[in-house]
């Protein structure tokens, strides 16, 4: 990819609209330092110095779309609680509309609190309920998502298994998006793979791909076997399998050899949210007119940026350009 080609795509990002639907979370961080072990138990004592919070889960995906210069529209559910209020504030501060976020008083906002000391995560505390969203709330959620589909260029379904994504929502939503010829990408949970047949792209990590294919991935041969089985079974246009320090593999329908995309990360401080960055950058690029390979290369570079930061992070267009051309593009 040339620098001119990247700049042309980045210019299109500003007019590209992406709907993100999925499980919304608040990522909280307590930052501090450790200089002793507790006398009460063999655990470190963290001296808290500051706290911060940012959108997590599907909200982080929307944040990545927005940070890259795109227009994110977000559909999901939060609770009527302090975490929900803080998440709403953090989204609005990033220029992301919260008008399509529904409130369920009896369901807490999913929150993950990470304690970080000396750039290392010490512990994570999760607060959530994962029972399926049903009844009137489900109907309102589906109507909200359906109303948004005609107004966007791409759709991301973020499935973290927290109760929002299940058959009653996914089947009609995916069907409508396919009829509307929208770019549809999915970061899937393995138990829901069957609902995503025929989408534009699936972006599982190695563990998710192995579970979906019902094949252990232990080497290159088993990786290729699992990827091809998913392609045969679910028929996405492409499968982008994320492999951590091994980069990515891009599988296509044409039966050609999958493309190996090496990682461009130079330092890895924190992989939290890297998958969110991948699907956000891939979808935004594809909806803006990039080829599948160009979109994969862009998403790989964006992920290389965020893993070099501590905590759940995003990537700016300037950081993306710097990472891509440091990686050898001209």
- List residues with catalytic annotation: 276
Query: For 288-317, b where at least 16 C-beta lie within 10 A, e where not — what string?
Result: bebebebbbbbbbbbbbbbbbbbbbbbbeb
C-alpha torsion 77→82→83→86, nearest 10: 100
Which residue from 136, 110, 111, 114 is spatially nearest to 123, judged by alpha carbons? 114
Question: How many helices (H) and strands (E) are present in the chain, helices listed first?
Answer: 10, 13
For residue 61, give every residue at least 6 positions away whose Cβ sits within 8 Å of its Cβ, in sequence order, or none: 20, 22, 72, 156, 158, 187, 276, 279, 280
Report the sign of the C-alpha dihedral through residues 162, 168, 173, 174, in that order: positive
With contact defined as beta carbons under 8 Å apart, do 263 and 300 qualify?
yes
Residue in 145, 258, 154 with CA at minimum distance from that of residue 199: 154
Backbone dihedral angles phi then psi of residue 153, each to the nearest 5 degrees: -100, -25
Q: In what order do the strands lie in the sheet with 183-187?
A: 101-103, 71-78, 17-22, 154-158, 183-187, 201-202, 238-242, 248-252, 259-261
Partners of 29 in beta bridges:
52, 114
Token pair of 164 as six digits: 């929002």
- Give residue 321's Cα distance to chain centre: 20
Q: Give the pair of three-digit tokens for residue 121.
A: 């995560």
């Amino acid at each position: 990819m040339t620098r001119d080609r990247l700049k042309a795509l980045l210019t299109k990002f500003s007019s590209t609209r992406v709907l993100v639907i999925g499980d919304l979370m608040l990522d909280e961080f307590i930052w501090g330092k450790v200089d002793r072990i507790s006398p009460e138990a063999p655990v470190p004592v963290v001296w808290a110095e500051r706290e911060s919070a940012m959108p997590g889960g599907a909200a982080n995906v929307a944040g990545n779309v927005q940070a890259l210069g795109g227009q994110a529209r977000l559909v999901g559910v939060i609770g009527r609680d302090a975490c929900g209020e803080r998440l709403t504030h953090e989204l609005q501060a990033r220029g992301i509309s919260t008008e399509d976020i529904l409130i369920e008083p009896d369901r807490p906002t999913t929150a993950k609190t990470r304690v970080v000391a000396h750039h290392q995560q010490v512990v994570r505390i999760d607060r959530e309920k994962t029972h399926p969203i049903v009844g009137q709330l489900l109907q309102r959620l589906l109507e909200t998502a359906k109303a948004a589909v005609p107004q966007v260029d791409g759709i991301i379904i973020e499935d973290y298994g927290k109760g929002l994504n299940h058959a009653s929502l996914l089947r009609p939503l995916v069907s409508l998006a396919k009829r509307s010829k929208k770019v549809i990408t999915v970061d899937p949970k393995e138990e829901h793979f069957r609902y995503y047949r025929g989408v534009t792209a699936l972006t599982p990590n190695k563990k998710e791909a192995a579970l979906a294919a019902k094949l252990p991935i232990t080497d290159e041969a088993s990786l290729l076997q699992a990827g091809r089985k998913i392609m045969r079974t679910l028929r996405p246009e492409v499968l982008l399998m994320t492999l951590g320090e091994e980069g990515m593999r891009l599988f296509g329908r044409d039966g050609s050899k999958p493309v190996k995309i090496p990682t461009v990360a130079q330092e890895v401080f924190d992989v939290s949210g890297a998958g969110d960055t991948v699907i956000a950058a891939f979808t935004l690029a594809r909806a803006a007119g990039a080829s599948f390979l160009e979109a994969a290369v862009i998403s790989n570079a964006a992920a290389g940026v965020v893993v070099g930061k501590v905590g759940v992070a995003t990537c700016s267009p300037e950081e993306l350009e710097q990472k891509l051309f440091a990686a050898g593009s001209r």
